[in-house]
Structure 1
């Protein structure tokens, strides 16, 4: 009885609350990636050990090399519809004082494995326009050519959520076309949100559709709040239509302009 009285009551179960996965800037950047890569799967915060493994057969050396991966992550890993790794994105920060100089940079690890890498400073993320230009090789049009038009929702036996940014691969353009057409625009806006709710915007898009640079400038003017999560004043359906047109137009824009020198960090290509 005495022991029962002196026994401490059980400690209460710890209390938790949900944590935001993305901050405002990171969420906005993820949205830009989704618009630039509508046919890709984008996974954030992926351990290096899930992407690469040591190739040396010697057990001791292999174990030593494995330690270089322990606890390290890339900010984003991007896969195609068959879940083949396409490239990684690293958001860099200045090295902390007293950082271990023997740590192999992620850039070197990716280069050794033959994995393409894009890198931007974490405190200076690229705009929508810069993201589209940098990742143009993986746009909807280029991915459709490589995969035969198979998007993520058609590969794994599951339909993607309808709130994902729609892809452009259902739009059939004449072979050799150098600009968008009115027919292509209509196909990119099947619900007619822009045409019915924002007719003045739709009219200008149609007016500029055969002039990729002017169309690009106009679409960019619609997103002056570039770092916001969404453009103010537009419905979700209208945002999806703008994103479709913006991604499709970039391909034609690049055929008419000289390639720009990249202003971000080095890009490591596949070997």
Structure 2
């Protein structure tokens, strides 16, 4: 009897105040940091030459852009298109937001002159760069789970029905029923009765039906081998028995009563 592995005890639940700080603290911290970052980003926009109310768009451009790029980089699977670009964009947005705070405070405290060409040029490029990268992320498709390949189409030629001649009005004479010697089957060969044709819903049934002609009900292995020999992908055992073989035997119920092929052990005994 196999031993059951001891269950690992579940870790104790965090106290309520810790859960509250985690759930309510994160949005509070997010709101606080956005509010604290807005003045510095606003002043940098004013230094670059934007007037009110256009300068108020700089905090939204930097803060919202950093959040969107970070979320896209975290949610896209590894190796997916757009993940690397979103990661670079998130890092770039964080650097811009940090630089805006540093520059604004250096200018306000008198440690830096805001009337510099490089500062004005870099700040002026922020809105169009943010817009271009967000449009790139929106146009990059999100990968989905690979769909399973559709099974190959099975083309089976159906036997054409042999037209039955009309019955004569009077029964033929006895001598007309006698076969000519040259048409009689050779000795030792049995003529199998002509098998009726059916239109199966599953065309693979036409490949499995000849296995019944040997007088045995085909097994899963025999049916799979017949399909593989015909270059048709073989399904699982439940499909072979429950769908293909079941449909054949619904058309010809007597086939279900055939015995299974005896194994080599039975034949030896």
For normalisation by structure 2, the TM-score amounts to: 0.19
For normalisation by structure 1, the TM-score amounts to: 0.19
More helix per residue: 2
Larger radius of gyration: 2
More strand per residue: 1
